[in-house]
Amino acid sequence: MEANKKAPSTRKLVIFDVEGVILPKNRFVFEAGRRMGFRRLIRILAAGLMYQAGLLNLKKTLQTIYGTLRGLTVTQAEAIADAICPMPGAHEALAQLKQQGCVIAFVSSGLPTFIVKRLAQRFNVDYAFGIDVDLDSEVFTGNIQGDVIESEGKKRVLMRILKKEGLQPNQCAVVADDRNNLPLFLPETRKIGFNPDFLVKAKADVAISDELDTVPNAVNASTTPRRRLTANKLARETVHAAGALVPAITMLIGTPLMVYLTLTVSGLYAASELLRLSGNGLPVIRSITRCSALPTEHCDFVA
């Protein structure tokens, strides 16, 4: 999707990553994997874990995931995407940026282009870029291509939009959450981390961990207001701090038992999260998750 040029040079381009910013992270491929069956879902989850561990690069991970989704129809994919709730504040943030005259682009390396375009129409967004999924009679063949699956592909997309709009990098803001968006973080761009991972947070001008409706202010402001400590954030930090007890517990009970305990708790947690996304969940773990998760994580797998 491409936009017509607008006049004044005061315009700004705002680039949004989609998964983890506009939509819950990895929710589309998770739901698509569930639609295709348990074995395929496990294969997709394994590919995601290998990517997070640095064992697979982005392109290979996406090729594995979309190869696993071979046989999914366009109609099924659209229904899955339409059922995913946007992140809190997404509508408000995008509407406010449009009122300010910003040019907005969705750039995703996790979603098919036709899904990103559908989402862009829903939010009145000017540009949409995603994975070019090969289709045979409206059915996924398992093959993918396109700029966004390459290591510097998102940067090429950004430069094309800037050229078309007659804008410079210093007239651009990027809102992203994870490391595959780092090529968009040019020295001159306004870099906004939204629930960012460590690398994005380290390079971002502003880091936001609340709702998306704070993004329009972050696009223009040099800093964001310091938030007071809430019960939610206190619970979250307590959970994170509990990790410091692992070495002491290991010394008390021994390494083999600690490994077994860690695997058991991790398995129960993963099962609870999968059930929670389906509307259920294990009571105790679900309560802890609800107390410590950010509002933007409630419709996502909380990691």
The three-point CA angle 216-221-227 to 5° equals 85
Region of poorest pLDDT, from 38-47, 95-104, 193-202, 237-246: 237-246
**Greater model confidence, 170 or 11:** 170
Neighbours of 129 (CB within 10 A): 28
> Quick one: pLDDT at residue 66?
98
The span from the CA of 129 to the CA of 92, in Å, is 22
The span from the CA of 218 to the CA of 216, in Å, is 5
> Quick one: pLDDT at residue 289?
67
Residue 242 banded pLDDT, cuts 50, 70, 90? low
DSSP SS3 for 204: coil
Domains and CATH numbers, the chain: 13-220 (3.40.50.1000), 231-297 (no CATH)
Express each pLDDT in 221-238 by its tens digit. 754 444 454 666 566 566
> Quick one: pLDDT at residue 225?
45
Cβ neighbors of 104 (< 8 A, separation 6 or more) are 13, 14, 16, 94, 97, 98, 123, 125, 126, 127
Region of poorest pLDDT, from 103-107, 259-263, 297-301: 297-301
Give the mean model confidence (pLDDT) for residues 228-256.
Answer: 67
The three-point CA angle 132-113-73 to 5° equals 80
Is 140's pLDDT higher than 80?
A: yes
**Greater model confidence, 91 or 255:** 91
Q: What is residue 244's DSSP assignment? A: G
Burial label for 7, CB within 10 Å (0-12, 13-18, 19+), is exposed
Strand partners, 207: 193
- Of the candidates 44, 128, 28, 122, the residue with the CA atom closest to the CA atom of residue 84: 28
Residue 7 banded pLDDT, cuts 50, 70, 90? very low
Is 261's pLDDT higher than 90?
A: no
